[in-house]
Structure 1
Amino acid sequence: MTTTLITGANKSLGLETARRLLDAGHTVVAAMRDPAKGDAVRALGARVVQLDVTDQASVDAAFADLPELDVLVNNAGVIGDVHGVDGLTAEAAAAVLDTNVLGIVRVTQAALPLLRRSANPVVVNVASGVGWPRFLTDPAHDEFPVPSVPYALSKAAVIALTVQYAKNLPGMRINASDPGYTATDFNGHSGHQTVTEGTDATVALALLDQDGPTGEFHSRAGRIDY
């Protein structure tokens, strides 16, 4: 049995990822800041645990109660309160980085002892094309008109972080996924993709075996070339 932990699993992309991996036969641990908001994922058959990626004590407590882990999906993220340059402060950027980047570091570091005992350890970091300079500078891409500075900064860091983790841990499959322009709370549900389409890359990467790629960035269409 494959045990998978998904952060931010109470709604949207996290909830859909949980549903699809449960359907694939995984035992899913759905991690979230407020377990009282986990009824939807509980109903699917997941176990709910309290985990705030910005709180090291919360992260440590969640993993102390987890006997095994094969797949980690770092899905939790925030878009922040400031988007363009006007009103931007270092503090506003730091708040987004604390969740979207340092949160991945906290959770992944806590997960490593369990992942190292797995026969097929896999990590998927949910990034975004908004962190990909080629997309941000190409008018043909959905990401081009996005003005957000902190969010783009954080997702670019997630992609680099993924590559570096993969280089340091060659025995694991560690990749980043791009959900694409998916209808979520982040964009007022204006995205043209469904949450199922938005989780295609994440789910595919979560299901990799030991022969799968590592250190790559994937959309639902496959690998995004550097």
Structure 2
Amino acid sequence: MSEESAHQKVALVTGANKGIGRGVAEQLSAEGMTVVIGARDPLRGEEAAAALRASGGEAYSVTLDVTDQVTVREAAKQVGERFGRLDVLINNAGITGSGHVSPQDAHDQVPSSVDLDMVRAVFETNVFGVIAVTNAMLPLLRRSPARRVVNVSSHAASLALTVDPDGPFTALLPSAAYSPSKSALTALTVQYAKELQQDGFLVNVAAPGFVDTDSNNHTGFLTIAQGATVVVRLATLGADGPTAGFFSEEGPVPW
């Protein structure tokens, strides 16, 4: 590791070969961080890292499937061997469970008729995968003087917005998989923040908004860069920043 890179913050972004994760990686790189691209497909991960390097950034890729403990442990090992620490963890990898359909419009997520295996698969990635990656990376994060963890959720995680008769989700179909998994993720974030606050961690959850990505078949109205902004802001908080919060770019999101 060069002397210059030793002074750069190191950030790992899961699911970073495309979509919001890639947008976050690009913005963190522009902020001067060394970025580690976590991707299930090693070729796509390396392509994303190469693109960042071509833009003048310092970027690497690791094979990381958040549902596969072997790749999670190997990724932590590689980050540790290369950098000795991790400053920022962005738990971005997630699935809708319904393919390229906006999760709130997915008929296969209606609670009374949902396929339980689909629900398990969504929680495996969106909740259990976050626990697996976070716990694997905690020893490396503890070596950083400025420890930041950001979990990428959704406005759909908000119970208050969901039940508000005048809220944004009134006309949308109920969900037994995606939305509850993101609600669980926000709750999990609070618990990590509570445990790790005494150790100087800032752990928050971000709602990027309705972003134009593969996961909603490009029906979102925000650009990837716009969606990434709140994630990057939480990843670069100063020592006096919040923890255990749920934020969009507009400000706090109701639980």
State the TM bucket, normalised to the shorter chain.
over 0.9
Higher helix share: 2
Larger radius of gyration: 2
How far the C-alpha of 1:10 sits from its partner, in A, is 0.4
Q: Please list every run of 5 or more consecutive structure 2 residues that lacks an aligned counterpart in the other structure.
A: 1-7, 54-58, 99-107
User: Which residue in 2 is equivalent to 1:151?
Assistant: 178
How far the C-alpha of 1:127 sits from its partner, in A, is 0.6
8 Å CA contact 1:136, 1:143 repeated in 2: yes
Equivalent pairs counted in the alignment come to: 226
- Hey, what's the Cα distance between the residues in 2 that align with 1:48 and 1:40? 8
User: Which residue in 2 is equivalent to 1:193?
Assistant: 222
Is the partner of 2:181 in helix, strand or coil?
A: helix
User: Which residue in 1 is equivalent to 2:104?
Assistant: none
Closer/same/farther in 2, CA of residues 65 and 186 from structure 1, 3 Å limit = same
User: Which residue in 2 is equivalent to 1:73?
Assistant: 90
8 Å CA contact 1:2, 1:26 repeated in 2: yes
User: Which residue in 1 is equivalent to 2:101?
Assistant: none
Is the partner of 2:11 in helix, strand or coil?
A: strand
Opposite residue 12 of structure 1, the aligned amino acid is: G
8 Å CA contact 2:96, 2:215 repeated in 1: yes
Closer/same/farther in 2, CA of residues 176 and 57 from structure 1, 3 Å limit = same
- Hey, what's the Cα distance between the residues in 2 that align with 1:128 and 1:72? 18
Task: Please tell me whether residue 3 in structure 1 is matched to residue 14 in structure 2.
Answer: no
User: Which residue in 1 is equivalent to 2:242?
Assistant: 213
- Hey, what's the Cα distance between the residues in 2 that align with 1:13 and 1:141? 25
Task: Please tell me whether residue 119 in structure 1 is matched to residue 145 in structure 2.
Answer: yes
Within 5 Å, give how 1:53-132 maps onto structure 2.
53-66=66-79, 67-81=84-98, 82-85=108-111, 87-132=113-158
8 Å CA contact 1:130, 1:146 repeated in 2: no
How far the C-alpha of 1:138 sits from its partner, in A, is 3.0
Closer/same/farther in 2, CA of residues 209 and 137 from structure 1, 3 Å limit = same
How far the C-alpha of 1:187 sits from its partner, in A, is 1.4
Is the partner of 1:183 in helix, strand or coil?
A: coil
- Hey, what's the Cα distance between the residues in 1 that align with 2:28 and 2:65? 22
User: Which residue in 2 is equivalent to 1:204?
Assistant: 233
8 Å CA contact 1:177, 1:202 repeated in 2: yes
Q: Please list every run of 5 or more consecutive structure 1 residues that lacks an aligned counterpart in the other structure.
A: none
Greater mean alpha carbon deviation, residues 83-92 or residues 25-34:
83-92
Task: Please tell me whether residue 51 in structure 1 is matched to residue 41 in structure 2.
Answer: no
- Hey, what's the Cα distance between the residues in 2 that align with 1:152 and 1:189? 19
Counterpart among 168, 173, 190 of residue 195 in structure 2: 168
Is the partner of 1:208 in helix, strand or coil?
A: coil
Greater mean alpha carbon deviation, residues 69-78 or residues 144-153:
144-153
User: Deviation digits for residues 83-103 of structure 1, max 9, x if unmatched?
Assistant: 223641322111100000000
RMSD: 1.4
8 Å CA contact 2:37, 2:48 repeated in 1: no
TM-score (norm 1): 0.95
Is the partner of 2:143 in helix, strand or coil?
A: coil
